[in-house]
A and B are shown apart, each in its own frame.
Chain A
Amino acid sequence: MTQHATLDSHAHRELRVRVDAGADLGDAVMATLTVPNEFRNVQGHFPILFRREMGQGDFTALAMFGFEAGENLFLDGDRWDARYRPLSLAIQPFLIGRPASGDGPGQVHIDLGHPRIAADGEGVRLFDVDGVATPYLDDIAGRLGDLDEGYRASGAFFDALCDFELLEPFSLEVTLDDGSVHSLVGFHIIDEAKLQALDADALGRLHAGGHLMPIFMALASLSQLSALVARKNCRLASG
């Protein structure tokens, strides 16, 4: 059960967080949220697909780890089998909190009900014995800041994609080595043909808004789909 609290160097002086990987730590997920300012790091490892959540108008971007719910092909027992962990996964069990008044500087919150909260004295400290944030917490705060900034910029990014009608529905049907068929449905990707057809003025506006780079990064990430299929086949082969 989630149990959010504002991080506090007194109350959480001795708290430790587990930074290893594992299904029991919440890593058995088929995808995680990603944000445009992170696409550059994500595209080298994971396909980026867009999805409009049911009943919501807004799109979100997802870094894909598998083909079905709970399947993470980058989780190998207790080992994270990639050189990158997307921000939204890396910051767990932390989140950004904001004062009730609405806007204002974000605060670091922590979900004390998260399985990454270490109960046994192992894991990484958030504060040293003097109450100073540890390098780990400094690093997390940096990532939270990046994620928050990216999340705030996401609205403008998807608005631009919609304005230029650059999103097209996408589904993928894959026949694996053992003959089984897996599919990804209900996603969107960048419409490459429409992107190619944009004139200089449109490209200039996308570029000015900082959207052009993430658009190309998202396109590039699709080459990771075949790698994902290969991982799935590999896992089938090893039983």
Chain B
Amino acid sequence: MNDMIERVVIVGGGTAGWLAASLIASSRRAKAAPLSITLVEAPDVPIVGVGEGTWPTIRQTLATIGLDEGDFLAACDGAFKQASRFDGWLDGSAGDSYLHPFTTPPAVPTGELLAAWQTSAPDQPFAAAMSAQAAVCNLHLAPRQRAMPDYQGATNYAYHFATEKFGALLARHAKQSPLITHILDHVTGVRHADNGDIAALTTRSGREIAGDLFIDCSGFKGLLIGDALDVEWIDRSEHAFNDRAIASQVPVPPGSPIASQTIATAHEAGWIWDIGLPSRRGIGCVYSSRFMDAERAETILRDYIARELPGAAPETKAFGVPFKHISFRTGHRARFWERNCISIGLAAGFIEPLEASAIVLIELSLRALTDNFPADRAAMDIHAGRFNKLFRYRWDRIVEFLKLHYVLSRREEPYWRAHRDPQHIPPHLTEMLALWKNQPPSAWDFPYVDEIFSAQSHQYILYGMGFPAPAGWPATDRATAALAEMRQRARTLAAGLPTNRIYLDALAADRAAAEPERVE
């Protein structure tokens, strides 16, 4: 029997499935080894669409699969995301707001930067002192000029986009690859090999789809990793309380400003997301059913929309924007790679989209796979062991990073007090917080390659929420100079960058003029 890995079978035609097909195909382009990729997609199954926010890794992903940035933005109603902003998370008072920008602080030891910040500009928010991106975000500016080469910016950035359009674009693009076969059929079960591996999928139309490596992108269902291989689900709701969301989309008037960041506004038992696209804002309410009922959550969402978009507010439904109620469980598989099956996307795990971790986890899973593609069945178990260890580590870090946003809060509602209850805080996070009293988060705390949330991300949350800067470092000249340079850079960027609206409207006009025959 031939043990080489030559047939990849992907189950699921959502973001994870098409990204998997595209990235595996791209990674094989230059190599001689034969490889076939089959993507099986159930017809008429709605795509969940994991969040409309991404992480800067998405730029490399899109470039790798060969998409033109302008085409992508125009096709997906896309906009730039340069940060996350957290309103009302500290105590809910007026002006309670801080930013987690994608551009990191200057490359000067953090202790010195903190001292220089406290000495020279103590009234300035941490993010504004450390990154010119704060000024760019405040002015609704794009991270780049249109003349710049694709995927390069004056600041670090990712995107917001319409998930359903992104999925369609990925599918259109992937279908052009000669390596990828697309099958529309319902997977009904699997045929196991003697050793317990998955040998083939069986389908409703009676097909049998054999493969060497199976990728489960079937969403929450986990058709292969769960149903077929019975890998345990680890529940994380003890630390992450939220288990419900209400999603809505509100159209915006032409010419209105497009925010440069995701806005997450805290409420009494969760938070509201607000994601600006050229044509609409995606607004939704995340909450914990233990602390709030659906009716109250709808009221909170409606009030927010009324406040933010007065014209659209009370008759949201009249705009054809029904509230969509979603229930989710927070957790992940005990193992993500089991035998000859890897789970990616929702099949692997889910947590609230507070820091847009869903798509970046898909990208990192696929990078780990394509960089370490098993040549034969014997290599697979070695890769699987490493993969499982790495992604278990990543899930722990994600859970703890999201939790950090809650434990630093001083809000007094029962939900928020429960978040700060020591028994609901991961012990490792408690340890880290103890260390960070004496030293800022550093690479010692986050030593892996491709940490999703780096030491710098943790600094933006900690000091954005008023965590005391550790004493003992001097405000060195180099740190003071770096912050002064940052202020000047903020002014330069503010002068040179177009607004998001101007950029995206000009891009759309260019595309319309160049290809009048192509209608989406």
Contacts and interface: CB of A to CB of B under 8 A. Distances in A.
Interface string B477-520: 00000000000100110111011001100100000000000000
A126 B502 CA distance: 17
B496 A136 contact: yes
B503 A122 contact: yes
Nearest to A120: B506
Contacts of B494: 125, 128-129, 134
B502 A128 contact: no
B145 interface: yes
A136 B495 contact: yes
Given A121-B498, A122-B146, A122-B498, A136 B492 contact: yes
Interface string A126-139: 10110000111100
A126 B491 CA distance: 11
26 contacts: A20-B147, A78-B147, A120-B506, A121-B498, A121-B499, A121-B506, A122-B145, A122-B502, A122-B503, A122-B506, A123-B498, A124-B496, A125-B495, A126-B495, A128-B491, A128-B495, A129-B139, A129-B494, A134-B491, A134-B495, A135-B491, A135-B495, A136-B492, A136-B495, A136-B496, A137-B495
Nearest to A118: B498
Nearest to A79: B147
List 10 tightest A-B contacts by C-beta distance, closest first: A134-B495, A121-B502, A125-B495, A122-B498, A135-B492, A124-B496, A136-B495, A20-B147, A124-B495, A135-B491
A134 B494 CA distance: 8
Contact of B488 (A120, A121, A135, A137): A135
A80 to B, nearest CB: 12
Given A78-B147, A134-B492, 17 more contacts: A19-B496, A20-B147, A120-B502, A120-B506, A121-B499, A121-B506, A122-B146, A122-B502, A123-B498, A125-B494, A126-B495, A128-B491, A128-B495, A134-B491, A134-B495, A135-B488, A136-B492
A197 B258 CA distance: 69
Interface string B105-144: 0000000000000000000000000000000000100000
Interface residues of A, number: 16
Contacts of B139: 129
Contacts of A126: 495
B490 to A, nearest CB: 10
Interface string B225-239: 000000000000000
Contacts of A120: 502, 506
A87 B454 CA distance: 44
Contacts of B146: 122
Contacts of A134: 491-492, 494-495
Interface of A: 19-20, 78, 120-126, 128-129, 134-137
Q: Range of interface residues on chain B?
A: 10 to 19
Chain A binding site: helix, strand, loop or mixed by DSSP? loop
B257 to A, nearest CB: 12
A152 B61 CA distance: 56
A129 B490 CA distance: 13
Contacts of A135: 488, 491-492, 495
A115 to B, nearest CB: 15
B231 to A, nearest CB: 51
A75 to B, nearest CB: 14
A129 B495 CA distance: 9
A136 B503 CA distance: 20
Nearest to A135: B492
A123 B142 CA distance: 12
A119 to B, nearest CB: 11
Contacts of B492: 134-136
A126 to B, nearest CB: 8
A128 B492 CA distance: 9
A1 to B, nearest CB: 25
A92 to B, nearest CB: 17
Contacts of B491: 128, 134-135
Contacts of A20: 147
Contacts of A125: 494-496
A121 B498 CA distance: 6
A120 to B, nearest CB: 6
A126 B495 CA distance: 7
B48 to A, nearest CB: 37
Nearest to B145: A122
A138 to B, nearest CB: 9
Contacts of B147: 20, 78
Nearest to B498: A122
Contacts of B502: 120-122
Nearest to B502: A121
Contacts of A129: 139, 494
Nearest to B492: A135
Interface string B448-491: 00000000000000000000000000000000000000001001
A120 B491 CA distance: 21
Contacts of B488: 135
A129 B502 CA distance: 17
Interface in B144-186: 145-147
Most B Cβ at <10 Å: residue of A20, A78, A135, A136: A135
A128 B487 CA distance: 13
Nearest to B147: A20
Nearest to B509: A120
Contacts of B496: 19, 124-125, 136
A144 to B, nearest CB: 17
Contacts of B495: 124-126, 128, 134-137
Most buried by A among B491, B495, B499: B495
B390 to A, nearest CB: 43
A9 to B, nearest CB: 13
B508 to A, nearest CB: 13
